[in-house]
Chains A and B, each alone.
Chain A
Amino acid sequence: MWDNRCKIAVSGVGYSKVSRTADRPLAAHALDAVRDAVADSGLRMQDIDGLATYPELPATGHAEVDGISIVSVNCMMAMLKLPALTWHIQVGTTNIGGAVQQATNALLAGVCTYAVVWRAMHNPAGTYQNLPGAYAQGAAQFTGPYGFGGPGQGMAVAYTRWLETNNQSRDKMATLAVTQRKHTQHNPHAYFHGTELTREDYFASRMVAYPFCLFDCDIPVQGAVAVVLTTADRARDLKPKPAYIAGYGQRLHFETAGRIGSLSSYMEGGSSSAKLTWERSGFTPKDVDVAQIYDGFSASVIYGLESYGFCKEGEALDFIQDGRIELDGDLPLNTFGGSLGTGRIHGLWHIIEGALQASGRAGSRQVKDANVSFVGASAPIVTGTTFIFVGDPY
């Protein structure tokens, strides 16, 4: 087990309004989320001395303009002018989960005391994913000419591989989309709060990139979420009940650029990250009371459930049936609605929900007696990270 098990905790969490269009600069969303998280902890902004984010804009072919389409650490520093600031970082090889892990490490090292991590996501006007221009350079020279554009198609090819080698049907995915949308109705911050989804809606929806229909894809939105992390002893003195980090991991496998469709890459990425998390936390999948698994595209949940060890390979779509992922099921899943419910904010919202469920702060969607809370914070193949939060360490 990890020497630093449960020594760092998530304290406050915060949200901006999530909107479909960029009606104001992204920096305003990020500020709202950061202020909300700091207030939730009962801290003052001048107490914050650590900053971390993953600022990438996943929409390809659009300009990255700091404060407008991304919110970097530099942007946040310039806005907040924190008097006590001692540490900051932006991560590259992991998505936002890596920023949370780096903040954890910085707190353990004692180089900061209250760190804020945010993820701000922009929805540009026009088509979200623009294929290469007239020319396909680099790795895209082997994919772009054939109409392979955004990550949706890249995930879709692995999904057909999974479906047809396991003799499975995409129809079973309706259960995930519908159950998560049900959960979304308990999350007032989510984009699809107030909008129901039925199985009929799922089956009637237009196809985007088979096997993905519209409701297998998270909707691009403009918004931000944030968390405050601190040491366990400090967290206990703050307003919210802490969610302790029992363990974390990051994927240790990377596919060579431009090689698409390989299902084993998802599995190796996910299992390498989860193995670290299980070993460090001392828990096993059987100990988990509630799970958040990244669902930017629905099939990521399959790769997550299987590679993290919740079910056997080829069985994930059967595993999620019969009420298992409902709030009162054996493994309540993506209880905040997931990205399919909140809109595309990436994995920090999964981390927030993992922390809230562990500390009993999830309101009407709280899973009864939840303590061991698992998070797979992004797609296992590229930027996967995993976490275990606990409310009452044991």
Chain B
Amino acid sequence: MSDWSKVTRPIPVPNEWTKPFWDAAKQGVLALQRCRSCGHVQHPPYATCTQCIGVDLTFEPVRGAGTIYAYTIMYHTGDKRFASAVPYASIVVELDDAPGALLAANLLDADYTEAKVGRRVEVMFEQLNDDITLPQFRLAAG
């Protein structure tokens, strides 16, 4: 299993579009951008709705259940901050509540060999500092 204890992750810098996502994550809630016109849920946040070009966008909580849409196992140690964790699984998750929205994460609490397309995962949260908590994923219970 990857040892993340010595990894120093780059700290996300929220901006005016993404702040609600990080504010929710700090509370242990996964909230994605939703279009008030057509109901489309998308990630990453964008200036407009990628379905109807609506500009009336809000953030709403979604359930943290989804599947691994894609993944890669990182072996390269070019970035020394992550070197202690290789090989590690960086995954892309598609949530049940937001088809088409793709969230990057690491697969935590599991061997990297457990990362497979289609496997069920659930959200968990990793606190980076007082301001930023990172949504992460682990294999779904059961």
Docked Cα-Cα span, A135 to B90, in Å, equals 19
- Interface size for B (C-beta < 8 A) is 43
Cross-chain contact of B106 among A146, A164, A259 (Cβ < 8 A)? A146
Docked Cα-Cα span, A145 to B116, in Å, equals 21
CB–CB A135/B117 < 8 A: no
CB–CB B70/A206 < 8 A: no
CB–CB A259/B44 < 8 A: yes
How would residues 80 to 91 of chain B score, 1 for a CB under 8 Å from any chain A CB and 0 otherwise? 011001011011
With a 10 A CB-CB cut-off, give which of B14, B74, B81, B116 has the most chain A CB atoms: B74
B65 is an interface residue with CB less than 8 A from chain A: no
Residues of B close to A207: CB separation below 8 A: 73, 75, 87
A-B contact count (CB 8 A): 131
A210 is an interface residue with CB less than 8 A from chain B: yes
- Interface size for A (C-beta < 8 A) is 48
CB–CB A149/B70 < 8 A: no
B82 to chain A, nearest CB (A): 5
Main secondary structure of the interface of A (DSSP, over half): mixed
Residues of A close to B76: CB separation below 8 A: 152, 208-209
CB–CB A147/B13 < 8 A: no
Cross-chain contact of B102 among A138, A257, A259 (Cβ < 8 A)? A259
Q: A129-B78, A209-B74, A210-B72 are in contact. Are A145 and B90 (CB under 8 A)?
A: no
* 18 pairs, A vs B, C-beta closer than 8 Å: A127-B78, A127-B79, A128-B78, A134-B10, A141-B15, A142-B18, A142-B104, A145-B9, A146-B9, A147-B79, A147-B90, A148-B90, A157-B72, A159-B72, A160-B117, A161-B117, A207-B73, A257-B46
Chain B residues with a Cβ under 8 A of chain A: 7-15, 18, 42-44, 46, 50, 69-76, 78-79, 81-82, 85, 87-88, 90-92, 102-106, 116-118, 128, 134
What 9 A-B pairs come out closest when comparing CB atoms?
A261-B92, A156-B72, A141-B12, A210-B73, A164-B117, A161-B70, A261-B70, A136-B10, A157-B70
Q: A145-B128, A161-B69, A207-B73 are in contact. List 12 more A-B contacts (CB 8 A).
A: A136-B13, A138-B15, A139-B44, A146-B9, A148-B90, A153-B74, A160-B117, A206-B75, A208-B75, A210-B74, A259-B43, A261-B102
